[in-house]
């Protein structure tokens, strides 16, 4: 993905960090960010979010923009789930699943770009983080 518009190369805003945590499958930071649990589970992601190069911030924002668009289309697909057929139009019965799979793939792409293990909400549920 390459950005064609002017995108900030500065540090992430708190709102951007919330979305990155969420898309990478990590829990919210809340007000207990100084806890041992928070740093043992989220620490690597937090460090990466605060220490990217200018070009990496631009690329990460481009990925984040794409993720937000995919998420919007995923939730928007629910508006036609009750329609099996309308005139010549016929609903794709696997549209929601296809959109979900694409969103999950893009979320994992963000994790790969940032060099972090997918968080508990996105990762391999057989793995245990201690």
| pLDDT higher at 130 or 18 | 18
Rounded Cα–Cα distance for residues 4 and 62 (Å)? 9
* H or E element in which residue 100 lies: helix 95-114
* Overall average pLDDT of the 98-115 stretch: 92
For 85, the 3-state DSSP assignment is: strand
pTM over 0.85: no
């Amino acid at each position: 993905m390459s950005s064609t518009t002017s995108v900030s190369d500065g540090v992430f805003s708190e709102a951007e960090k919330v979305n990155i945590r969420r898309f990478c499958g990590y829990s919210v930071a809340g007000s207990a960010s100084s806890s041992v649990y928070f740093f043992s589970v989220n620490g690597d992601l937090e460090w990466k979010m605060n220490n990217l190069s200018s070009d990496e911030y631009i690329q990460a924002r481009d990925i984040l923009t794409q993720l937000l668009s995919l998420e919007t289309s995923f939730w928007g697909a629910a508006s036609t789930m009750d329609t099996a057929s309308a005139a010549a139009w016929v609903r794709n019965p696997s549209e929601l699943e296809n959109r979900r799979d694409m969103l999950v793939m893009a979320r994992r792409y963000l994790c790969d770009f940032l060099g972090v293990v997918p968080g508990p909400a996105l990762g391999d549920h057989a793995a245990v983080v201690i």
